[in-house]
């Protein structure tokens, strides 16, 4: 997929680690200019330093707007578009998960996950769409397989990802007239830092639920983002693409 994003400018939220960092890497390899977005300056600059070590000449910068603050996001995205010449791709990847039992949920926990996993997606999408309007662009959101099947604890997380699917499908219809495509990727069981630290006695039963016979890697998800962001997916919008090895939870 080398150079299939050549000349494109992308913002990746939650781009400092895990899936987001892999998306940044893949976008750069595909020829895009990238603004990686972190939750705070220190983590964003740290990720930028790591990327620069891998891609010394890469057109990449770090940003750290408050994703739940529309003015902060609009300012950051406008600066990206001014520096790189446009904003063509938004990867809405920032988010948090929860496993809190329902009887123990607090209002603060509910607000936290809804703010970052839903409100921030809408704010970032709106800011990006304003810059893409009339020129065209692509928004790709991170959903989850639990948006399709739910999970046994921490219902706030699948609720937020159900909402991401609804935002994706609705914006795909509303923004099509502006030549903006909107899709989502729903990762399955992915080898993140948290999963990698689990004992084999927990990992092996997880793998047995996956028909392909292995956990996914962050790169598997990033590849789907590259495809959906590219012209190869020019007739795809409103899709929620499951990248899960065929798992049926």
| Interval 4-53: pLDDT, tens | 999 999 999 999 999 999 999 999 999 999 999 999 999 999 999 999 99
CATH T-level fold of 9-190+217-243: Rossmann fold (3.40.50)
What local confidence, expressed as pLDDT, does residue 198 receive? 61
Structure-token match 């950051």, residue found? 76
pLDDT digits (tens, 9 = 90+) for 135-185: 999 999 999 999 988 888 899 999 999 999 999 999 999 999 999 999 999
Res. 2: pLDDT tops 90: no
pLDDT digits (tens, 9 = 90+) for 75-127: 999 999 999 999 999 999 999 998 899 999 999 999 999 999 999 999 999 99
Pairing of strands 240-243, 60-63: unpaired
Every domain of the chain and the residues it spans: 9-190+217-243
Instruction: Round to whole Å and give the CA distance between 49 and 127.
Output: 26
Structure-token match 């704010």, residue found? 123
Of 103, 105, 149, 157, the active-site residue reads 157
- Residues whose CB is less than 8 angstroms from the CB of residue 159 and which lie 6 or more positions away in sequence, other chains included: 114
Res. 249: pLDDT tops 70: no
Instruction: Round to whole Å and give the CA distance between 51 and 32.
Output: 14
Write the burial class of residue 2 (CB in 10 Å: 0-12 exposed, 13-18 middle, 19+ buried). exposed
Mean pLDDT computed over 48-59: 96
157 is catalytic: yes
């Amino acid at each position: 997929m080398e150079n299939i994003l050549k000349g494109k400018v992308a913002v990746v939220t939650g781009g400092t680690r895990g899936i987001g960092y892999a998306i940044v890497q893949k976008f750069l390899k595909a020829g895009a200019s990238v603004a990686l977005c972190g939750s705070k300056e220190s983590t964003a600059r740290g990720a930028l330093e790591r990327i620069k070590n891998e891609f010394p000449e890469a057109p990449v910068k770090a940003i750290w707007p408050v994703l739940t603050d529309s003015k902060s996001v609009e300012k950051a995205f406008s600066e990206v578009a001014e520096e790189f010449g446009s904003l063509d791709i938004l990867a809405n990847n920032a988010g948090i998960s929860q496993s809190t039992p329902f009887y123990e949920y607090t209002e603060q926990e509910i607000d936290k996950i809804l703010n970052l996993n839903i409100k921030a997606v809408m704010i970032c999408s709106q800011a990006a769409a304003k810059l893409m309007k009339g020129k065209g662009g692509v928004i790709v959101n991170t959903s989850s397989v639990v948006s399709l099947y739910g999970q046994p604890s921490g219902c706030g997380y699948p609720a937020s990802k159900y909402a991401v699917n609804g935002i994706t499908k609705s914006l795909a219809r509303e923004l099509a007239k502006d030549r903006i495509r909107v899709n989502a990727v729903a990762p399955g069981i992915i080898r993140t830092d948290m999963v990698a630290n689990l004992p084999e006695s927990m990992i092996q039963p997880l793998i047995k639920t996956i028909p392909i016979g292995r956990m996914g890697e962050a790169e598997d998800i990033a590849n789907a983002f590259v495809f959906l962001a590219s012209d190869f997916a020019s007739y795809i919008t409103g899709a929620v693409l499951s990248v899960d090895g065929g798992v049926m939870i």
